[in-house]
A = this chain, B = another copy of it.
Amino acid sequence: MDAFWIVVGSGVLALAYAFFAYGKVKRFKVENERVNELSEIIHGGAMAFLSREYRWLFPFALLVGALLWFTIGMGTSISFLVGALFSAVAGYIGMTVATRSNGKTSFAATLGMNEALGIAFRGGSVMGMSVVGLGVLGIMICYALFKDPNIVTGFGFGASSIALFARVGGGIYTKAADVGADLVGKVEAGIPEDDPRNPAVIADNVGDNVGDIAGMGADLFESYVNSIIAAMAIGLTIFGDRGVFYPLLLSALGIASAIIGTMFVRVKEGGNAQVALRVGTFVTGGVMIFGSYFITKSVFGDLTLFWSVLSGVAVGVLIGYVTEIYTSGDYDAVKQIAKSSETGAATVILSGIAVGMKSTVIPVILICVATLVGFKFGGLFGIACAAVGMLSITGMTLSVDAYGPIADNAGGIAEMSHLPHEVREITDKLDAVGNTTAAMGKGLAIGSAALTALALFAAYAHAVNLDAIDLKDPYVMVGLFVGGMLPFLFSALTIQAVGRAAQSMIDEVRRQFREIPGIMEGTGRPEYERCVDISTGSALKEMVFPGLLAVITPILVGYILGPAALGGLLGGAIVTGVMMAIFMSNSGGAWDNAKKFIEEGNFGGKGTSNHAAAVVGDTVGDPFKDTAGPSLNILIKLMTVVALVLAPLFI
């Protein structure tokens, strides 16, 4: 019972941290009319998106909850609803704070670097800490109610459902707004980025929050809780209560480590924000590793499982680093893409695709290492513990990650409210750091999705109690093929959805430029809200079909071809899903930075045909890295958790 209260206490602690961090941000006063106004519009747009999204989600959640009640049981149904609710609340908190911190960050930049970093990081940490706090507490509530990890899987399903909508919908939203703003504003009308005359500029800024805050938060929330739940479910059958509480204690430790880590995120004037964030992350990781040594020893009396956890933590950090190598302008891969712009857009595309495909190799090997080390020291439970280890420091990594879009927004607001040049310089520096941390966050999101899906897969295999999911069995092989095909179909659907949504946005921006008098002179106010509305509507409409696909396919295959074929389906979807997610995220990231590398004056710089070629790559990469790629993280976790929750139906 001690363990129970320790875990609950850690969850409360995380939420308390978030509460106080929010208080500090809130108390910081912005003395600039224009900054306040813009921040308010972005905040309003983000909230409008969330409230419309949640209005769709509410009946959906109730319907699924009802179906679960009748098919699986009351406990799973309630857990599902709690999971959906907690994920939604975490998203709401994160978005609220992020869209309140952006304007404050730009104003804080007038005071100095440390002040700006302080606000932006604190804003991000509210998201990070809310996710882990609500995650741990939600699991504990469901476990206290039903005393059975197999019922708590419903909580994970709820979290996954919200994540699907947040990631797919958010991904479509952000890219539709981005493309619309860029294509008509920058290219056709020739006005700069973040120019307040552009009607889509607010939607674009809202999109950064919708995609990178709410989307990323829901993604990691899903990984976080599902890795814990999978470990609990497997642990129960092997170690009894100890197996249930061990992953929970690791998570509690992770929360404590993250709080200690955040204290190290400081920068002196003229200092390096990148270093500050890295120190914070390393301190968190170090405390986590150190502490898990003792926890493992005290729970099991020996250290075997410690190595499983350690492999997860290590691989989580390394995957982020590999992502950086393939997508940052400091390394060769991106420079090669930039160079290929000399022979035109086609070679930019080809070299970016090749880089993305090649970048699958090391992450896959790392995931395999974590899997094998996890297994060697702890069987299937060890794999799940590796996933828990990787995700235990989510409180910190997500704080760092959420900081990025806040800094990005802050720069936009500084630009739009004509703050002095030095301010923009500070926000630009913070934003550049944000791009690197975003790459690392994306790597972690994919790696953790893979490991979480594997842990859920192990739990599923356990639950349906099959002798084997045997590739020699043609039904399993057929499942593998269908599963392997789904990420391709899913990516095609989301890419096409972005295309259609962007088209509506383009039409609207063109219309406003045409019809609103004085808009180009800055005397007529653009109808920002219309653009926000269009992005919201398109995103919500377009995510229905891919969403249904993700939920219904595993159910159909399980029913028609049986639980072994469903196992094959999950295996196939996880494998191609992970490959495609890495490929598309990293191609997209590499194109983005190749363009920026040229814009820094290399290979001719802005305005040359080389730059134009690189812009084509960046445009192709946008839906790759911000819509299709991240959505696959959700797809593989959602499908596996659906299979796990519904396992009793397929036996």
CB distance from A617 to the nearest CB of B (A): 8
Which residues of B have CB within 8 Å of A466? 472
Confirm or deny: A351 has a beta carbon within 8 angstroms of a beta carbon on chain B.
yes
Q: For chain A residues 341-365, which have a beta carbon within 8 Å of chain B?
A: 343-347, 349-351, 353-358, 360-361, 364-365
C-alpha spacing A466/B567, complex, angstroms = 19
Q: For chain A residues 456-494, which have a beta carbon within 8 Å of chain B?
A: 457-458, 461, 466-472, 474-478, 480-482, 484-485, 488-489, 491-493
Q: Does B481 contact A344, Cβ atoms closer than 8 Å? A: no
Which residues of B have CB within 8 Å of A495? 350, 353-354, 357
Assuming the contacts A364-B485, A367-B481, A485-B579, asked whether A496 and B354 have C-beta atoms less than 8 A apart, the reply is: yes
Q: For chain A residues 367-410, which have a beta carbon within 8 Å of chain B?
A: 367-368, 371-372, 374-375, 380, 383
In-complex Cβ contact of A471 among B469, B488, B491 (8 A): B469
In-complex Cβ contact of A616 among B349, B351, B477 (8 A): B349
CB distance from A624 to the nearest CB of B (A): 9
Q: Which of A66-74, A195-203, A439-447, A570-578 contacts B (4 or more CB under 8 A)?
A: A570-578
Confirm or deny: A568 has a beta carbon within 8 angstroms of a beta carbon on chain B.
yes
In-complex Cβ contact of A489 among B344, B346, B357, B469 (8 A): B357
C-alpha spacing A475/B372, complex, angstroms = 7
Confirm or deny: A602 has a beta carbon within 8 angstroms of a beta carbon on chain B.
no
Confirm or deny: A504 has a beta carbon within 8 angstroms of a beta carbon on chain B.
no
Confirm or deny: A623 has a beta carbon within 8 angstroms of a beta carbon on chain B.
yes
Q: Does A477 contact B489, Cβ atoms closer than 8 Å? A: no
Which residues of B have CB within 8 Å of A350? 495, 498-499, 619-620, 623
Which residues of B have CB within 8 Å of A469? 470-472
In-complex Cβ contact of A481 among B364, B485, B496 (8 A): B364
C-alpha spacing A493/B360, complex, angstroms = 13
Confirm or deny: A183 has a beta carbon within 8 angstroms of a beta carbon on chain B.
yes
C-alpha spacing A493/B354, complex, angstroms = 7
In-complex Cβ contact of A346 among B364, B468, B484, B619 (8 A): B619
Q: Does B372 contact A489, Cβ atoms closer than 8 Å? A: no
Q: Which of A357, A358, A489, A623 has the most chain B CB atoms inside 10 A of its CB?
A: A357
Size bin of chain A's contact surface? 35 or more
Which residues of B have CB within 8 Å of A480? 571, 575
C-alpha spacing A343/B365, complex, angstroms = 39
Assuming the contacts A343-B183, A499-B350, asked whether A489 and B571 have C-beta atoms less than 8 A apart, the reply is: no
Q: For chain A residues 205-252, which have a beta carbon within 8 Å of chain B?
A: none
C-alpha spacing A101/B619, complex, angstroms = 46
Confirm or deny: A583 has a beta carbon within 8 angstroms of a beta carbon on chain B.
yes
Q: Does A575 contact B572, Cβ atoms closer than 8 Å? A: yes
Q: Does B372 contact A474, Cβ atoms closer than 8 Å? A: yes
CB distance from A323 to the nearest CB of B (A): 15
Confirm or deny: A78 has a beta carbon within 8 angstroms of a beta carbon on chain B.
no
Q: Which of A340, A350, A471, A477 has the most chain B CB atoms inside 10 A of its CB?
A: A471
Confirm or deny: A454 has a beta carbon within 8 angstroms of a beta carbon on chain B.
yes
Q: Does A471 contact B471, Cβ atoms closer than 8 Å? A: yes
C-alpha spacing A319/B564, complex, angstroms = 27
C-alpha spacing A368/B469, complex, angstroms = 17
Q: Does B354 contact A484, Cβ atoms closer than 8 Å? A: no
CB distance from A462 to the nearest CB of B (A): 8
Q: Does A579 contact B578, Cβ atoms closer than 8 Å? A: no
Q: For chain A residues 151-198, which have a beta carbon within 8 Å of chain B?
A: 183
In-complex Cβ contact of A368 among B356, B372, B481 (8 A): B481
Q: For chain A residues 125-159, which have a beta carbon within 8 Å of chain B?
A: none
Q: Does B347 contact A499, Cβ atoms closer than 8 Å? A: yes
In-complex Cβ contact of A468 among B345, B347, B467 (8 A): B467
Which residues of B have CB within 8 Å of A375? 474
Q: Does A358 contact B489, Cβ atoms closer than 8 Å? A: yes
In-complex Cβ contact of A575 among B340, B358, B481, B496 (8 A): B481
Q: Does B620 contact A478, Cβ atoms closer than 8 Å? A: no
C-alpha spacing A279/B503, complex, angstroms = 44
C-alpha spacing A478/B575, complex, angstroms = 10
Which residues of B have CB within 8 Å of A347? 499, 619
Shortest Cβ distance from A361 into B: residue = B489
Render A495-522 as a binary contact track against B, CB cut-off 8 A, 1 for contact. Answer: 1101100010010000000000000000
Which residues of B have CB within 8 Å of A498? 350
Which residues of B have CB within 8 Å of A461? 471-472
Which residues of B have CB within 8 Å of A470? 468-471
Which residues of B have CB within 8 Å of A355? 492
C-alpha spacing A340/B619, complex, angstroms = 14
Assuming the contacts A360-B485, A495-B353, asked whether A472 and B477 have C-beta atoms less than 8 A apart, the reply is: no
Shortest Cβ distance from A490 into B: residue = B357
Which residues of B have CB within 8 Å of A374? 474
Shortest Cβ distance from A383 into B: residue = B474
Shortest Cβ distance from A474 into B: residue = B375
C-alpha spacing A49/B472, complex, angstroms = 41
CB distance from A627 to the nearest CB of B (A): 11
Residues of A within 8 A of B (CB): 183, 340, 343-347, 349-351, 353-358, 360-361, 364-365, 367-368, 371-372, 374-375, 380, 383, 454, 457-458, 461, 466-472, 474-478, 480-482, 484-485, 488-489, 491-493, 495-496, 498-499, 503, 506, 567-568, 571-572, 575-576, 578-579, 583, 615-616, 619-620, 623
Known A-B contacts: A354-B496, A480-B571, A488-B579. Give 16 more (CB < 8 A).
A345-B616, A349-B349, A349-B620, A350-B498, A351-B499, A353-B495, A357-B495, A368-B481, A371-B481, A372-B474, A461-B472, A468-B470, A469-B471, A477-B571, A484-B576, A576-B576
25 A-B residue contacts at CB 8 Å? A340-B499, A344-B616, A349-B620, A350-B495, A350-B619, A353-B495, A355-B492, A356-B492, A357-B491, A360-B488, A360-B489, A364-B481, A364-B482, A368-B478, A375-B474, A461-B472, A466-B472, A468-B472, A470-B470, A471-B567, A471-B568, A477-B571, A480-B571, A484-B484, A488-B579
